[in-house]
């Protein structure tokens, strides 16, 4: 078990290094150019921001968790899929909360709209009301997907494709820079897989 844990940690650390390198390159070379390229298109996608608002998604996930709790209390058990769904929702909610309250406040990066209107694209900006790094939506979605990716291996590629689509829409819509979605996706998927590993250890003792 210790050998497996060591391998998992090494893979995660290598992924972290790759993610950090991708974020650094994107932050320095791609973010502003890509945001400018899609700025006119993004203005027509505003309805998606309302439809998939973070608060709306969190409310839906919370409702799912409450329904599953009631089902567990009344029926005495849940299916494996229902347990995974509940765990995915909880991991998603927790990851989003940590990202929104801690990481965004720490990194303090101006969003595309502010930067394209004259703000500096830097870390640790002063007098920042709303930080965009890492992306909260990708953290939310990544954590949800990460649980399923770990517990249902057949879901890896379909969920990866959906995460890619979501990331592209966030960039094209002008809500986030490329570096935001890279960091948010890594953070979310890592949190989801960690939650799944903890669940496996709890249920199966391994």
pLDDT at position 198, please? 86
Integer Cα distance of 94 and 144 in angstroms: 10
pLDDT beyond 90 at 127:
no
Structure tokens at 11: 């893979």
Instruction: Give per-residue pLDDT as tens, 77-107.
Output: 889 999 999 999 999 999 999 999 899 989 9
For every residue of 147-190, DSSP letters joined together read HHHHH-GGGHHHHHHHHHHHHHHHHHTTS--HHHHHHHHHHHHH
Q: CA 107, 130, 100, 149 torsion: positive or negative?
A: negative
Helical segments of the chain, H only: 2-25, 31-42, 46-51, 54-75, 80-98, 104-107, 112-116, 136-151, 156-172, 178-204
pLDDT beyond 60 at 206:
no
**Reported pTM:** 0.88
Nearest to 151 by CA among 101, 201, 93: 201
**What mean pLDDT value characterizes the chain?**
88
**Residue found by looking up tokens 């608002």 in the block:** 53
Structure tokens at 33: 């150019």
Q: Judge if the upstream peptide bond of residue 104 is cis by omega within 30 degrees of 0.
A: no
Q: Which domains does the chain have, with CATH numbers?
A: 2-204 (1.20.144)
**How long, in residues, is the chain?**
206
CB 184, CB 54: distance < 8 Å: no
Nearest to 143 by CA among 84, 60, 64, 66: 84
pLDDT at position 204, please? 67
Integer Cα distance of 152 and 156 in angstroms: 8
**What value does the CA radius of gyration of the chain take, rounded to a whole number of Å?**
18
Structure tokens at 64: 């799912």
pLDDT at position 37, please? 87
pLDDT beyond 90 at 8:
no
**Residue found by looking up tokens 């009631």 in the block:** 70
CB 198, CB 150: distance < 8 Å: no
Instruction: Give per-residue pLDDT as tens, 25-76.
Output: 999 999 999 998 888 876 666 666 666 677 888 999 999 999 999 999 998 8
């Amino acid at each position: 078990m210790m050998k497996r844990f060591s391998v998992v940690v090494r893979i995660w650390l290598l992924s972290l290094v790759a993610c950090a390198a991708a974020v650094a390159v994107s932050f320095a070379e791609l973010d502003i150019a890509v945001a400018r390229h899609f700025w006119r298109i993004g203005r027509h996608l505003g309805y998606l921001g309302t439809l998939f608002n973070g608060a709306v998604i969190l409310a839906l996930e919370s409702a799912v968790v409450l329904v599953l709790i009631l089902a567990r209390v009344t029926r005495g058990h849940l299916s494996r899929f229902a347990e995974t769904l509940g765990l995915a929702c909880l991991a998603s909610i927790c990851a989003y909360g940590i990202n929104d309250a801690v990481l965004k406040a720490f990194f303090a990066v101006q969003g595309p709209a502010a930067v394209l209107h004259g703000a500096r694209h830097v870390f640790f900006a002063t007098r920042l009301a709303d930080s965009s790094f890492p992306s909260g939506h990708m953290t939310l979605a990544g954590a949800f997907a990460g649980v399923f990716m770990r517990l249902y291996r057949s879901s890896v590629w379909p969920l990866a494709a959906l995460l890619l689509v979501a990331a592209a829409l966030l960039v094209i819509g002008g809500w986030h820079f490329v570096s935001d979605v890279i960091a948010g996706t890594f953070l979310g998927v890592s949190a989801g897989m960690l939650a799944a590993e903890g669940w496996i250890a709890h249920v199966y003792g391994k």
